[in-house]
Amino acid sequence: MAFFSYANLEAVRYDFKLRDRCYPWSVVNAKEVNLTMTVKAKIKHLKPGTVFNAGPVAVRVLEHFPDGKTLVITDECIADRPFTCQPFKPNRPEDWKANNWRTSTLRADLNRDFLNSFDEAGGPILSENIIPAEWDLTDSAGNNAYGSVTDKIGLLTEDMFRKYSEQGLLAPHDWWWLITPLAGTLSYVRFIRAVGTLDDNYAYYGTGGIRPALFVESEIEVEVEEDEVDIPPSTLLDRFTTRQLVAELFRRIGTEGDGERLPLSRRNQDERRG
């Protein structure tokens, strides 16, 4: 006989929309029956701050844009490296500057090795799904001597960091580089301390962490917990058949909670009396 958990006689009625029919189920409170499911959802439906597996690394959603792209950043630093390595003098351009992302060795590494890792991992995001973007090289005082560059992989600017940090989307994590040069210098770059505050550091120091930022196609589907998705539950449920949903519901109710269990017939009588 089928049983439903019914602890403390506090039942909550859930109406699950299963395809073209609606099945009412009385279950115990949400703490005893966990109805959260892992689902596939388009990136554009993920809440800002959601972390998902992009293939080679986990990334965090920062912002969705109306032109079909989403800005994400790696959830953790992927390495500790200098912002740039100084070229040997015979190969060093006369206008080379240590804090200019345009000539940074880190820029070259990210847009070659790190970019290629998406194809090697074979995850939901491939290199072809990463959208080239314009990265602003304005310094910390608002001067734009270095212009901008177009890359698939970049770093957050100081303004971007301030914006997303104020929104609570950038949890403090280690020391990591921004793309923004420190005003009035040729060798210092803006930098985030482990506590989440702004600072600057010498571009040649290898103690800086790397959190690449990238714009990806918003229509790509990834796997996340359903509570990370910002769309109506009925839309999520439409991805499953009636048989799958009923089987999952019975499985969870049968395996979670140690409260008093009542047969369906008695449960229905109690409900009618209530």
Q: Which of 122, 196, 180, 121 is nearest to 146 (CA)?
A: 180
Give the residue, 159 or 96, on which the prediction is more confident.
159
Strand locations in 125-253, DSSP E?
130-131, 133-136, 148-151, 153-154, 176-181, 188-192, 198-202, 213-217, 221-225
**E strand or H helix at 269, and its extent?**
helix 264-273
Q: What are the φ/ψ torsions at residue 152 (nearest 5 degrees)? A: -80, -35
Q: What is the pLDDT of residues 212-256, one digit of tens each?
A: 999 999 999 998 887 677 665 555 566 677 787 778 778 877 765
Q: Is 107 exposed, middle or buried (0-12, 13-18, 19+ CB in 10 A)?
A: buried
The C-alpha atoms of residue 178 and residue 191 are separated, in whole angstroms, by 6
Estimate to the nearest angstrom the gap between the alpha carbon of 17 and the chain centroid: 29
Are 125 and 88 members of one domain?
A: yes
Assess whether 66 and 188 both reside in one domain.
yes
pLDDT above 50: residue 117 = yes
Kindly report, residue by residue over 151-190, the tens digit of the pLDDT: 999 999 999 999 999 999 997 778 999 999 999 999 999 9
| Mean pLDDT over each residue of the chain, to the nearest integer | 81
Distances (CA, A) of 90 to 94, 97, 250: 10, 15, 72
Backbone angles phi, psi at 270, to 5 degrees: -60, -40
Give me the residue label for tokens 């000539």: 103
Give me the pLDDT at residue 218, please.
97
Q: Which residue has the higher pLDDT, 10 or 33?
A: 33
Q: Positive or negative, the Cα torsion across 121, 228, 71, 192? A: negative
Q: Which of 1, 12, 29 is nearest to 259 (CA)?
A: 29
Q: In this structure, are 45 and 33 located in the same domain?
A: no
Same domain, 211 and 87: yes
Instruction: Say if residue 94's pLDDT is above 80.
Output: no
How many domains does the chain fold into?
2
* pLDDT at 98 > cutoff 70: yes
* Helix, strand, coil shares, percent, the chain, to 5: 25, 30, 45
> Can you tell me whether residue 34 is helix, strand or coil?
coil
pLDDT of residue 31: 38
Structural domain of 159: 41-222
Q: What is the pLDDT of residue 232?
A: 57
pLDDT top residue among 226 and 52: 52
> β-strand 69-74 against 58-65: which pairing, if any?
antiparallel
Are both 65 and 135 inside the same structural domain?
yes
Q: Does residue 34 sit in the same domain as residue 158?
A: no
The span from the CA of 263 to the CA of 5, in Å, is 9
Question: What are the tokens at 107?
Answer: 């820029």
Average pLDDT over residues 94-120: 94
95 and 122 inside one domain? yes
For residues 150 and 27, state if they share a domain.
no
Residue 20: pLDDT band with limits 50, 70, 90: very low
154 lies in the same domain as 49: yes
Cα separation, 54 vs 57, in Å, equals 6
Average pLDDT over residues 99-107: 95
- Same domain? 82 vs 35: no
**Residue 103, pLDDT above cutoff 50:** yes
Claim to verify: residue 97 and residue 136 sit in the same structural domain:
yes
State both tokens at 125.
């995001």
Note whether 4 and 16 are within 8 A (CB). Answer: no
C-alpha pair distances (Å), 84 with each of 11, 120, 266: 61, 25, 72
pLDDT value, residue 25: 36
User: What is the arithmetic mean of pLDDT over 188-194?
Assistant: 95
Q: Higher model confidence: residue 58 or residue 242? A: 58
Which of 222, 237, 265 is the C-terminal boundary of a domain? 222
**Shared-domain flag, residues 20 and 144:** no
